[in-house]
Amino acid sequence: MSSLTMRPCGDFRTSYKQDNTIFETKTIRYAAILSIIALCFAPLLVDSYFITLLIQISYLGIAALGLNILVGYTGQISLGHGAFFGFGAFASAWLNTSFSIPVFLCIPLAGFLTMGVGMMFGAPAARIKGLYLAIATLASQFIIEDFFARAEWFSGGSAGSMAEPLNLFGFVFDTDQSFYYVALFSLVFMFIWGCNLMRSRDGRAFVAVRDHYLSAEIMGVKLNKYRLLSFGVSSFYAGIGGALYAHYLGYVSAEGFTIFMSVQFLAMIIIGGLGSIKGTLMGVIFMVFLPEALEGGVGLMKMTDWGNIPMVVDGLAYIKEMAIGLVIIGFLIFEPEGLAHRWTQIKNYWKFYPFAY
C-alpha cells in the first residue's frame, strides 16, 4: 500500500476505513490531484475551442451528477432534468437582473430555487414508482417549458433573457479562458461534495431506499423524506449547472431545455454508469466528445477518394447523427454497467498483465 507504483494483486484492502475513502489508493489520489493541476494549465496548452468543450463538460457534468444521485443512487427516475437545468439558468439571470444580486451569489441561490421547484415536482415520488413516476416527471418537463414561454417577468418569454458575466472582486470572467477556471472549480467542488454526501448518513439512506425500501423503512429511514430530498439534491445540482451555463453564454433562451436535453442527461449517466460518481464524469466526457470525434471522422473521410462521391458527402451528416444513436445502443448491449465498469476492467487487465485470469 505504501509504495506508489507496485501494488499487490487481488483484494488488498484490509480495513473498513480503506473501503470508504474517496480515492481508492494513494496513487489514485495523487493522480487526481495532478490531473486537476494539469487541467489548470489547459488554457495555455490547447486552443479555445477545446476550452469551450471543457467548460461544457463542467456544467453538464454538475447537472448529470445530480441526476445520477437521483437515478443511480436513490433509484428514482426523472424525465424533467433538462427543464430543471433550464430553470437554474433562468433563475440565476432573473435574480441578477431583477434584484441586482451579485452573480457569484446568484448561482447558489438559483441552485436553491431549483431545488424547491424540483422537490415540488418530485412530490409524486412519495406515492408512485417506476414507469408511473417517469410519466409524472415528464409532466414537470412540459409544465416548466410552458412556464418559460409564458412567464415573461421571469424568463423574458420568447425573447429570452440576458445574463451578466460573473464578476468577482472586480475581476470579470467574460472570456472562455477565465470562465474555464470558474467552471473547473465548480466541477471539482460539486463532485467532492457529491462524493462526501454519498459517504454520509444521508447517502447511506439514499442507497437503502434504492436497494430495499422495506428494510430502509424498518431501520427508521423516512422513505418519503429521502425520495423528496433526492429530488431536491438532484435539482440543486441541475440548477447550479444551469446557472453556470447562463453566465457563461450570457444569454438564455427556452429553446434548448427540451425533453431531448433530459434524455441526453439520462444517456450520459447510463453510458457512464449508474450509481458511480466517476462514471458520471466519464459519461459526460463521452457524450460531449462523441459528436466532435465523429465530426473529425467525417472530415477525414472527405479528404479521401470517398469524398468525391456526392452521395457519401451528403449522407455523412445523417450518418453522424445515426452513429451517435448506434454507439449508445452498442453501449447498452455490450457495456450495460457503463464506462466506470469498463475502466475497472481495463485497469485490472493491465495490473495482471500478462497473467490475465
Tell me which residues touch another protein (CB under 8 A): 11, 13-16, 18-20, 201, 204-205, 207-208, 211-212, 214-223, 275
**Single-letter code of the amino acid located at 130:** G
- Give 220 or 354: the residue with its C-beta nearer to another protein: 220
Q: How far is the CB of 276 from another protein (least distance, A)?
A: 11
Is residue 39 a contact partner of residue 183, using CB atoms and an 8 Å limit?
no
Q: How far is the CB of 19 from another protein (least distance, A)?
A: 5
- Give 19 or 305: the residue with its C-beta nearer to another protein: 19
- Give 39 or 207: the residue with its C-beta nearer to another protein: 207
- Give 123 or 188: the residue with its C-beta nearer to another protein: 123
Structure-block grid coordinates of residue 197: 454526501
Structure-block grid coordinates of residue 248: 457563461
Q: How far is the CB of 20 from another protein (least distance, A)?
A: 7
Q: Give the Cα separation of 83 and 256 in Å (integer).
A: 9
Q: Give the Cα separation of 52 and 72 in Å (integer).
A: 28
- Give 61 or 275: the residue with its C-beta nearer to another protein: 275
Q: How far is the CB of 212 from another protein (least distance, A)?
A: 5
Report the first-to-last Cα separation within the chain, whole angstroms: 22
Q: Cα dihedral angle (312, 53, 342, 195), rounded to 10 degrees?
A: -160
Q: How far is the CB of 219 from another protein (least distance, A)?
A: 5
Q: Give the Cα separation of 118 and 114 in Å (integer).
A: 6
Is residue 181 a contact partner of residue 168, using CB atoms and an 8 Å limit?
no
- Tell me how long the chain is: 357
